Amino acid sequence: MNGAYRTGVIVLVGLAVLTLIEYFLALVGGLMVPLMLVAVFKAALILEYFMHFSHLWSEEGGAE
């Protein structure tokens, strides 16, 4: 498996696991802080993988 494909699979599995955690936390009910923490982790994963957010501050990335 090449690097990009492997990273994509890892991100997919990570998002699926975090979604399952969110689902079970929502079933328990009333746990807003843990739900928000999971949402922040999911957002960070999406920002980094799909939007390449950290590249905005790197030497070779960002606006020109």
CA-to-CA distance for 45 and 19, rounded, in angstroms?
12
CA-to-CA distance for 27 and 19, rounded, in angstroms?
12
Cβ atoms within 10 A of the Cβ of 38, count?
A: 20
| Mean pLDDT over each residue of the chain, to the nearest integer | 85
Contact between 25 and 35 (Cβ < 8 Å) = yes
For residue 17, the model assigns a pLDDT of 96
Cβ atoms within 10 A of the Cβ of 43, count?
A: 11
Report the chain (64 residues): mean pLDDT per 10 consecutive residues. Answer: 84 94 88 92 90 75 53
CA-to-CA distance for 3 and 10, rounded, in angstroms?
11
* Residue ranges per structural domain of the chain: 3-57
For residue 57, the model assigns a pLDDT of 75
